[in-house]
Amino acid sequence: MPKEIFDAEYPFMNKDELLSFEEIVRLAKIFAELGVEKIRLTGGEPLLRKDLPKLVEQLNKVNGIKYITLTTNGAFLAKYAKQLKEAGICRVNVSLDSLDDELFKRINNMGTDVNQVLKGIFSARDVGLEVKVNMVVKKGLNEEQVLPMVRFFKEEGITLRFIEFMDVGSSNGWNLNEVVTKKELYDMIRKEYPLVAMDPSYFGEVAKRYRFKGSKSEVGFISSVSNTFCGSCTRARISAEGKLYTCLFASIGYDLKEHLRSNQSDEKISDLVRNRWNKRDDRYSEIRTEGTQNKPKIEMSYIGG
């Protein structure tokens, strides 16, 4: 969220524009009836939402939901790790793009330091949460941090995942020439550590996973630019104001909040969701080379990763 765009004067949404906890849980029940088993709370920054552990507790009681995860920048994770674990979070994904404090502050644009994020990571691990660290690599910015990150998290036994710099939204100044591909990252790491390919944990898993030879530690690569996976995508996204997006690169969302607040039945909303999902034809990552980079897209700060 670039500070020059999302500054103190930026008109963020009013509270009544956001889905209430009751509405979120109602949607979770509807989606669970349709076969959804996993929920990820993401952002923006989900830990800024007041009483988030209470929402997790309610979601954890939804019949059919088996796995709840949270994606965070880690700034408040140390404070809430124990509460999140007790509420029912299974895993946290933490964004960290550098171990160099000066560079990291330049990247996050918020003054958050590396030690603050690491404290959150270790606090989450210590209370029994599974932890994965996500690193977005941008050419000319932080690719020299790849191996230091690998060495550090390998020794800590924490899974590190590399994410290709993606053209999500319109505010990150994306340029294809700044992408460090999965192959480049793999080759860089393999020179120092032999890697053993691992089978996917489930259908639609976006990360290609590898184990360091002779170790239980893992590293993963999410390659939505150089090696797309639109055909196996199983993810639906609901924004904070209740819009359904069937693709990370979507430009238009389907307003579910309107139906929630107009006294429509769960069955009616379920039918709307099913029809919307069955008619989806999203494959932006597969066709981006056909001149679609400038197509309007929803910002990641609205729907997360």
Most confident of 2-16, 58-72, 197-211, 235-249: 58-72
Count of domains in the chain?
1
Measured N-to-C along each axis, helices 21-33 and 52-60 cross at an angle, to the nearest 10 degrees, of 30
Inside any domain, residue 149 = yes
Residue 6 within any structural domain of the chain: no
Output the pLDDT for position 176.
Answer: 80
| CATH number of the domain encompassing residue 194 | 3.20.20.70
Residue 260 domain flag: yes
Query: Residues 144-195: pLDDT tens digits?
Result: 999 999 999 999 999 999 998 876 655 555 578 899 999 999 999 999 999 9
Give domain status of residue 8, yes or no.
no
| Beta-carbon contacts of residue 222 (< 8 Å; ≥ 6 apart) | 161, 162, 163, 164, 182, 206, 207, 208
Comparing 270 with 281, the larger pLDDT belongs to: 270
Percent of the chain with pLDDT over 90: 66
Least reliable range by pLDDT among 32-36, 51-55, 156-160, 280-284? 280-284
Task: Give me the pLDDT at residue 6, please.
Answer: 44
Write the DSSP assignment of 3-41 as a string of letters.
TTTSSTT--PPPGGGSPPHHHHHHHHHHHHHTT--EEEE
Domain for residue 2, yes or no?
no
The reported pLDDT for the residue numbered 167 is 63
CA angle 61, 64, 24 (to 5 degrees): 60
**Residue-level pLDDT at 173:** 54
Residue 10 lies in a domain: no
**pTM given for the model:** 0.87
Domain that holds residue 94: 15-303
Q: Give how far Cα 85 sits from Cα of 94, 131, 168, Å.
A: 15, 12, 30
Task: Give how far the C-alpha of residue 121 lies from the chain's centroid of Cα atoms, to the nearest Å.
Answer: 16
45-100 pLDDT tens trace: 999 999 999 999 999 999 999 999 999 999 999 999 999 999 999 999 999 999 99
Task: Give the contacts of 297 (CB within 8 A, at least 6 positions apart).
Answer: 167, 168, 169, 170, 249, 250, 251, 284
- Would residue 84 count as lying in a domain? yes
Q: For residue 4, tell me if it sits in a domain.
A: no
pLDDT of residue 138 exceeding 80: yes
Amino acid at 56: V
Q: CA 213, 215, 221 angle in degrees (round to 5)?
A: 70
Mean pLDDT to the nearest integer, 194-209:
88
The pLDDT assigned to 172 comes to 52
Tokens in use for 16?
Answer: 């009544």
